[in-house]
Structure 1
């Protein structure tokens, strides 16, 4: 039986996120030179050739706005949500990871040789880790990563030389926090610049801790891209040996002083 051909469509970048504007009014540029870029990779499904999920993409917007506001004007930070070709990972096709690599190439084409951070949730977190080997990528953030317990372990060599942050709720029954811990252990053996935070009692959506997770991700990304000092818990987690630096608890209220920005 002949295999069904995949729909022909391309990945694309969402418009550059700008604070204070409605999504329909986001502009590609506001006149400032871009010094660094963040690509946000939404969640998805294990297998699906349907178009990308607008709901999953919309879920990344609060995180995008948090990063832009925390960076402030004049810092030249460009933040985009990546819109995949397909909703699913689709086995060995690794479609979201391919789309993430394309998106980094597109950022370099638009803005020049700027450092890039990949930030993903769920399936997008796996894509961020997979695509982090791109030469322009300096750091990757994986929030509640979907990591199937497959026969072949996830690759880690592409993460050498990158800063890596993994965040997972301890009560996540959709993606296994045990798998993300074991992955973090393997990454730590080849790359000391990795840390993992646990959100105690939180499920997959991290509903009661979204502000803290967004603040943590912003602190990590802006520290890497803009040369800012890391918050004390992040610096401690990066410096601590396993298992301490890979089971760092995310404190309630983390980043509260930044919320007014």
Structure 2
């Protein structure tokens, strides 16, 4: 049997998040019908990672690749997921486990976010547009810096008045501060792109802030990234890269 692909998302109390993950994996399955592709969640949603790995083992698989649906290597990637995988490896000695890299950073993610933004009618030639790139926010500074670097690249490669990263929680600037900065740079209209895979409570918080602080300008609000074909392509790329490694791993590179 080919190694199963276990896509692991964080999980959310908002049911839209899990639905979006399952829709993403439907695209992955359509691209690779030869693979056994399953969803798992670290917290707040079912099924949990350990339960999925037990089921994969019971179904006869002797190898599985865990693909973290995480955008950066923060706490969940460095601590939570390796602990769960290590526990499953000890409990299921007949199942060889490999863990792929997290999804970000990668040009395919940037393409996905830009594709979603373009669907709102935003163009890269609009010199009066200011773009907020909204990320979750983390106590792990490098994860926030990753989002900021994406916004900086957009600033350099477009004619926009500006592109600024903002965070829904745990980091600065927040959305109102980012909008103020874009106004100072000459933006007359505001758009928000999401460095999120799926909608949820935090994306709602971002939208509320944008609509409050840029309400008079009819802000353009993009969708999160997961329904982009580029994300499905990236999931399969991470799976293939993990299989190309010679050694087993129970951590996220």
TM-score with structure 1 length normalisation?
0.40
Q: Which has the higher contact order (CA 8 A, sep 6+)?
A: 2
TM-score with structure 2 length normalisation?
0.41
Which has the larger share of helix? Answer: 2
Q: Considering only CA atoms, is the larger Rg found in Structure 1 or Structure 2?
A: 2
